[in-house]
Copies of this chain bind each other. A is one copy, B any other.
Amino acid sequence: AMAGPGWARAVRGLLLDVSGVLYDSGADGGVPIAGSAEAVRRIKASGLKLQLCTNETQATRENFVRKLRALGFDVSVAEVTAPAPAACRLLKERGLRPHLLVHDDLVPEFAEIDKTNPNCVVLGDAAENFTYANLNEAFRLLIGMEKPVLISLGKGRYYKETDGLKLDVGAYMKALEYACDVQAEVVGKPAKRFFESALAELGVPPEQAIMIGDDIVSDVGGAQQCGMRALQVRTGKYRPCDENHPEVKPDAYVNNLAEAVDIILQQ
C-alpha cells in the first residue's frame, strides 16, 4: 500500500452521517451526492464495516432505508443507528410514557411504548407538525408535570433541503426549555451514549473507527469526544467558515465521501 496520511491508517469500520454525505434531502425525495453510492459499494467490497449514524427522525428506519435504496444505496435496516430506537430503549429503562411531538411518519417507531397519561415529552423534527397548537400542547403538558422531562431527538440548529434551509429540532427544543425552565436530554448525535451505541452496532472499537459527516459539531465534535477520528466532508451543510470553528478541528477535510474512501482504501 502507498504511504498515506496518518488519519487513514488502521481503520476497520466507518460510521457515516447520511443527509449531506450520501444525499441531499428534500421534499422531492432528495438527490444522491456524486460518487457516494459507489463509495458505499467499495467500502463493503473491501471488507470494512459500515454503519449509518443519523439524526434522521422524519421516517421509520424501514422507510428511510427504502428511500436510500431507491436512490441507489446498498444499505439495510440493521445498518442504521437512529435516535428513535435509542429513545425507546431509554423510555423503557426509566418507565417513561411519552407525549410525542414528532413527524407522523416516525410514530410507528414508538408502537410498543405506553403513551397513556404522559410523564415526559419526546420532541423530534416534527416539520409540518410544528404548529402553534401542537407546541402549546407540548408546553402545557411539560409545565404541568411535577418534574418536567423533555427528551429531544437531536439538537441540530437547521438543515438544508433541496428547497432551502429549515429550522431543526434544536430550535424548538430551546423554545420549550426556555418556557419551562428545563434542560432537555438529547438522544442522537452529538450525545456520547448515542455514538457508543453506533460503535457497538458497528462492532469496532473507537480507535479503529472513523466518523464521516457534514456537521462540524454533531458529527465531528461528537465522534471525537468518543475517541474516534472524524472527517468533515465539503458537501451538504458544510460552509467554509466551519474550517475556523473555535472548538472543533476534524482529523481531516475531504471534498466528499468518495475522496475519503479513496484515501482509506489506499492504505
Contacts and interface: CB of A to CB of B under 8 A. Distances in A.
Contact of A179 (B158, B164, B176): B158
Nearest to A155: B178
Contact of A157 (B130, B132, B135, B178): B178
A48 interface: no
Chain A binding surface SS class: helix
A191 interface: no
A171 interface: yes
A74 to B, nearest CB: 34
Contacts of A248: none
A134 to B, nearest CB: 10
Contact of A165 (B136, B157, B177, B178): B136
Interface in A157-179: 157-158, 164-168, 170-172, 174-179
Contact of A139 (B140, B167, B179): B167
A146 to B, nearest CB: 13
A143 B181 CA distance: 26
Interface residues on A, range: 20 to 34
A152 to B, nearest CB: 12
A46 interface: no
A132 B128 contact: yes
Nearest to A176: B171
A127 interface: yes
A154 to B, nearest CB: 13
Contacts of A158: 139, 143, 179
A8 B260 CA distance: 73
A131 interface: yes
Nearest to A156: B179
Given A157-B179, A158-B179, A171-B179, A140 B165 contact: yes
Interface in A98-140: 127-128, 130-132, 135-136, 139-140
Given A130-B132, A139-B158, A139-B167, 6 more contacts: A131-B131, A136-B164, A139-B171, A143-B158, A168-B179, A171-B176
The 7 closest A-B pairs by CB, nearest first: A171-B175, A174-B178, A175-B175, A171-B179, A174-B174, A130-B132, A157-B179
21 contacts: A130-B135, A131-B131, A135-B171, A136-B165, A139-B165, A139-B167, A139-B171, A140-B164, A140-B165, A143-B165, A157-B178, A157-B179, A157-B180, A157-B181, A167-B175, A167-B179, A170-B179, A171-B175, A171-B179, A174-B175, A174-B178
